Amino acid sequence: MADILTSELYSADSSQAPLLVLPDVTIMPAAPAARVSLRCRETGLALAAKAFGTPIPQTPLTAETAANRAAFWLGPDEWMLVAPESQLAAILSDLETHLDAVPHSVVDISHRQDAVLVSGPRAGWLLNTGVPIDLHESAFAVGTVTRTLFHKTPIMLWRTGPDSFVVEAWGSFMDYVTGLLVQSAEELKAA
Amino acid sequence: MLLIQCPYCGVERPELEFSCRGEAHIARPADPSATTDEQWAEYLYLRTNPKGVIAERWRHIHGCGRFFNALRDTVSDKFLMVYKAGEPKPDPAQFSKEAGR
Q: What is the dihedral of CA A68, B9, A141, B17, to 10 degrees?
A: 100
CATH of the domain at A73: 3.30.70.1520
Domain boundary residue, one of A75, A108, A141: A108
CATH of the domain at A164: 3.30.1360.120
CA B60/CA B9 separation, integer angstroms = 9
One domain for residues A9 and A23: yes
One domain for residues A17 and A45: no
With 50 as the cut, is the pLDDT of residue B37 above it? yes
Domain boundary residue, one of A108, A125, A141: A108
Q: Are residues B9 and A146, on separate chains, in Cβ contact within 8 Å?
A: yes
pLDDT, average across residues B35-44: 95
Strand, helix or coil for residue B74: coil
Closest residue on chain A to B10 (Cα): A60
One domain for residues A145 and A186: yes
Task: List, for residues A44-71, the tens digit of each pLDDT value.
Answer: 999 999 999 999 999 999 999 998 999 9
One domain for residues A23 and A116: yes
Q: What is the pLDDT of residue A174?
A: 97
Q: How confident is the model at residue B96 (pLDDT cuts 50, 70, 90)?
A: confident
One domain for residues A101 and A11: no
Task: List, for residues B58-83, the tens digit of each pLDDT value.
Answer: 999 999 999 999 999 999 999 999 99
pLDDT, average across residues A125-138: 96
One domain for residues A12 and A104: no
One domain for residues A22 and A92: no
Q: What is the pLDDT of residue B94?
A: 81
Q: What is the pLDDT of residue A7?
A: 54
Q: Are residues B1 and A132, on separate chains, in Cβ contact within 8 Å?
A: yes
Number of independent structural domains in chain A: 2
One domain for residues A135 and A121: yes
CA A64/CA A76 separation, integer angstroms = 15
One domain for residues A20 and A37: no
Helices (H), chain A: 2-9, 42-52, 88-98, 123-127, 174-190
Out of B1, B9, B16, closest to residue A60 by CB: B9
With 60 as the cut, is the pLDDT of residue A4 above it? no
Task: Write down the ipTM of this complex.
Answer: 0.88
User: B6, B12, B17: best mutation site toward chain A, by most A Cβ within 10 Å?
Assistant: B17
B67 contacts chain A (CB < 8 A) = no
* Contact yes or no for B63/A146 (Cβ under 8 A): yes
One domain for residues A150 and A172: yes
Domain boundary residue, one of A108, A125, A152: A108
One domain for residues A23 and A52: no
Task: List, for residues A72-119, the tens digit of each pLDDT value.
Answer: 999 999 999 999 999 999 999 999 999 999 999 999 999 999 999 999
With 80 as the cut, is the pLDDT of residue A190 above it? no
Share of chain A above pLDDT 70, in %: 96
User: Which among A53, A12, A56, A50 is positioned nearest to A37, based on CA atoms?
Assistant: A56
Distance of CA A142 to the CA centre of its chain: 13
Q: Which residue range forms the structural domain that includes residue A37?
A: 33-108
Q: Are residues A133 and B1, on separate chains, in Cβ contact within 8 Å?
A: no
Task: List, for residues A11-24, the tens digit of each pLDDT value.
Answer: 899 899 999 999 99
Average pLDDT taken over every residue of chain A: 93
CA A141/CA A138 separation, integer angstroms = 6
One domain for residues A78 and A148: no
Q: What is the pLDDT of residue A67?
A: 87
Q: What pTM was estimated for this model as a whole? A: 0.91
